Structure 1
Amino acid sequence: MVLQYTSTVVDPPAILIRGADSHENDELIENMLPEDVWFHVEDMSSAHVYLRLKENQTLEDIPEKLLQDACQLVKANSIKGCKMHEVSVVYTMWSNLKKLPGMKPGEVSFHNSNVVKKMIVKKDKAVVNRLNKTEKSGVQMDYDGDRSARERREADRKKAERKIQLENKREEEKRKLEAAELRSYTSIMKTENMTANTDYSGYDSDDFM
């Protein structure tokens, strides 16, 4: 079970998920979805916070105010970071997280450090107080249900793409056939391939008086 917060700086409101301890953080690391963005204070212990984007969205699609909310939440839930005037927060897509053998609970690395973004975050009690008022504890995540729903959406998306590709292929084949027929007709209608109705060469008939 995890902690859930509601950010009202966007419409519709966005949900932020936070692990309550290092073992829950490991559970989140293992079970989240490719659309989830992971936030953590750089180089010090802090909460793991996730924001779920819409499918096909990227880090660049996160509104600035929503980004601030997520970063403020991890800063406020860092034992050292919460006491500092400012900290550096790192964030990346969940799919970029890498859990190596021997790592401690809650510890994580990256597949590609070049796609990890950083943001300097200054203390903002007003933001933290607003988010804390929306906190829900003991939220049960339906990991299997979320994953199954995503797989269905992905299957539907691929099915729709295949349908469009098939329709496009049929249209292209139709255009090619029409173009070939036009070329054939144009060739027949060329002057050198035509016989005038006044050309009697080779016409054998009786003379009539």
Structure 2
Amino acid sequence: MVYYFKAKFDDDFDVKEYSIYMGRDKVENDPLIKHSHPKDLWFHVDKVSSAHLYLELSDEQRLKKFQDLIIPSSILDQIGQLTKNNSIKGNKMPNATIIYTTVDNLISDGSMDIGTVTFSNPKLVKRINVGKKDNMIINKLNKTKTEISTDEFINNRQGEKIEFERKKKEHQRMIQNQEKELAKQYQSQRKAKDDPYGELFTEENMHASNNLTISENYEDDFM
């Protein structure tokens, strides 16, 4: 089973919501790592055993680099509390460090114990500090708790990944078109700087100038 929680925060304009999910036990950690969206975030208590928690991101956030990603502090507080609460050792600690990174930065293979992971790039791991247990946060999250089967989770993720890849390609094409347009503008500005009179002698301007001259001469004949 996969458990879902809803974390909310107020951004002064609207109340927004994030989905947090976790497996029922360590056996389900591997399928969640394998099938979670590669750009969603994975959370764990540092250096002690704990549940693996995941934070779903929007498509816009998934397109950002991890280094540039900004998660509201309220959301980090909530998922940090929930992660600490789902660690037997961590929950007893007055302060715990929670580590998080993108799913695609995780390494988990058959040679490791169930639920054990390492990182492709340890530099792409961020940390947050969580103090004593905040029962208000935990109780509020637990009230939103729902569950789905692991098979349903996997099916949902497969469709989501296909849709994201389509949007990602569209985004890349848009960026490429913008870069081409900027390159054209740069070349045009550079040409104008090198030859400030160049545009005065384009075929269109010369044609307009000739028509004007003919018209003026024609009028002079009748004056």
Aligned AA (1:7): A
Per the alignment, residue 138 of structure 1 pairs with 148
* Matched residue type, 2:177: K
Equivalence for 1:191:
none
Pairwise CA distance, 1:134? 0.4
Q: Is the 8 A contact 2:3 2:146 kept in 1?
A: yes
Question: Larger Rg: 1 or 2?
Answer: 1
Q: Which runs of 5+ in 2 are unaligned?
A: 202-223
Task: Tell me the distance in 2 between the aligned counterparts of 1:184 and 1:131.
Answer: 65
Partner amino acid, structure 2, of 1:4: Y
2:126 corresponds to: 117
When residues 176 and 106 of structure 1 are mapped into structure 2, their CA distance, relative to the original with a 3 A threshold, is: same
Corresponding residue SS for 2:169: helix
Percent identical: 31
Determine which structure has the larger helix proportion and give its number.
Answer: 2
1:63 and 2:72 correspond: yes
TM-score norm. by structure 1 comes to 0.77
Cα distance between partner residues in 1 of 2:158 and 2:174: 24
On the 8 A contact 1:35/1:57 being kept in 2, the answer is no
Count of residue pairs the alignment pairs up: 186
- In 2: Cα distance, 1:153 partner to 1:62 partner: 22
**1-side partners of 2:159 and 2:50: how far apart?**
28
Distance 1:23 1:175, change over 3 A: same
1:86 corresponds to 2:95: yes
Partner of 2:211: none
SS at match of 2:16: coil
Q: Is the 8 A contact 2:66 2:124 kept in 1?
A: no
The gaps in structure 1 that reach 5 residues or longer are: 187-209
CA positional deviation for 1:129: 0.7
- Which residue is 1:148 aligned to? 162
TM-score normalised over the length of structure 2: 0.73
